[in-house]
Structure 1
Amino acid sequence: MTSRKQTEADDRLAILNRGRKGRAVRRVDAHLDSAAPVEIGKVPDPYDPRNEGQLDDTERDDLAACESAVGSLQVAFASAGKALATINRARLYRETHSSFDAYVEERWGMKRSQAYRLIEAWPVAAALSPIGDTPESHVRELVPVAKTHGLEAATAVYADLRGRGGRITAAIVRQAVRSQFSPEPQGVASDTGQKQPTTATGSPVDQLKMALKAQRAVWSALAPSVVQAAMQQDPEATRQYLADVEIQATRTAKRARRA
């Protein structure tokens, strides 16, 4: 059992590392220096397009400056959260302020709730990427998982999504969290083996037959033509639903293998 858990953990880590290496290979945007904030005066003022074709040299320079500014914002929240955590725990504010709450409000004009949100988020951001470049919106969705189930569970959710490929959005992360950590439906035994209240009728074998029938209905509903039409109508929502279906299918398969 321990060996299998270790193997699963190693697999998840491999997926995360593969994703990081992939990003490193694809970093043609080497001009981004996410560690250094960009002064607002160095960001080009908004202007109308020069033409409809390829960017000229000036536009490429402007794009580089703008993306550098956005890149610094993407990692700033994680660094700020870690810094605030250190200031709070070590009471580095004590020479000038009586409390951490007073410090963040008077020194930074920051509400207490905002400061603690940053403090809660930074360990998750660091676990997902050592340079803290995971979008803040993604990290926010995983903070409750880390608080309840631990950092390993939070990173596993994100590793699974990365392993599927495709674009990850905050909504997709939210759906994955809900699917993997939602309460057990009534009438189904929990993973610990404890029986839950049930409203189902028929014998246990009849209930399994009903489950199989429902599973076949799901398979039929996912006809390629339906999926293609859904992608044309609303690609983002379709990807979210398909990711949710895949997660549920994985959970179902794991439960069936335990029998």
Structure 2
Amino acid sequence: MTQELSVAEFGELQECEKEMSGGHLQMCRALLRIHDMKLYREQYDSFDEYVDDRWGWKRSQAFRLLNYAKTMREIEKSPIGDIRPKNEAQVRPLTRLPLEDRAGAWFEAVGGKE
């Protein structure tokens, strides 16, 4: 069952979908906002339905991108936030860890260098 978005939520959805055409990390961050705020709910019953219909992605692909955005957010908040993974493939092994352990694991992966 779909639910109507407020004017502010509709504006947020439009902004996020505009950002989806930007760089890869920017796109993943916008997708995370759409997911977390449930901005898809006016036209779709589920996030899975939204990403499949709107972007042609399966659930696994969408959640891999969400995990990338979440992990990058944690790394950027950490003391080594300026030493970032170059792409989603470098982040993928970290996503098997609890979210709170990912930045520390990245720090170890880069040799503990700041």
TM-score with structure 1 length normalisation? 0.30
Write out aligned runs for 1:54-203 (5 A).
72=23, 76=24, 78-129=25-76, 134=85, 135-145=87-97, 147=98, 150-151=99-100, 153-163=101-111
The residue type equivalent to 1:140 in the other structure is: R
Q: Which runs of 4+ in 1 moved over 6 A?
A: none
* Paired residue secondary structure (1:163): coil
Q: How many residues align?
A: 88
* Paired residue secondary structure (2:110): helix
* Paired residue secondary structure (2:43): coil
Aligned position for 2:7: none
Q: Deviations over 1:201-243 (max 9, x none)?
A: xxxxxxxxxxxxxxxxxxxxxxxxxxxxxxxxxxxxxxxxxxx
Aligned position for 1:13: none
The residue type equivalent to 1:163 in the other structure is: G
**TM superposition shift of 1:100:** 1.4
Q: How far apart, CA to CA, are the structure 1 residues paired with 2:65 and 2:54?
A: 16
Q: How far apart, CA to CA, are the structure 1 residues paired with 2:111 and 2:37?
A: 39
The residue type equivalent to 1:108 in the other structure is: W
Structure 2 gaps, min length 5 = 1-20
Q: How far apart, CA to CA, are the structure 1 residues paired with 2:111 and 2:83?
A: 19
TM-score with structure 2 length normalisation? 0.61
Q: Is the 8 A contact 1:126 1:132 kept in 2?
A: no
Q: Deviations over 1:101-144 (max 9, x none)?
A: 11111111111111111112212112223689522111101011
Percent identity, aligned pairs only? 31
Q: How far apart, CA to CA, are the structure 2 residues paired with 1:160 and 1:100?
A: 34
Structure whose CA Rg is larger: 1
The residue type equivalent to 2:106 in the other structure is: Y
Write out aligned runs for 1:165-244 (5 A).
none
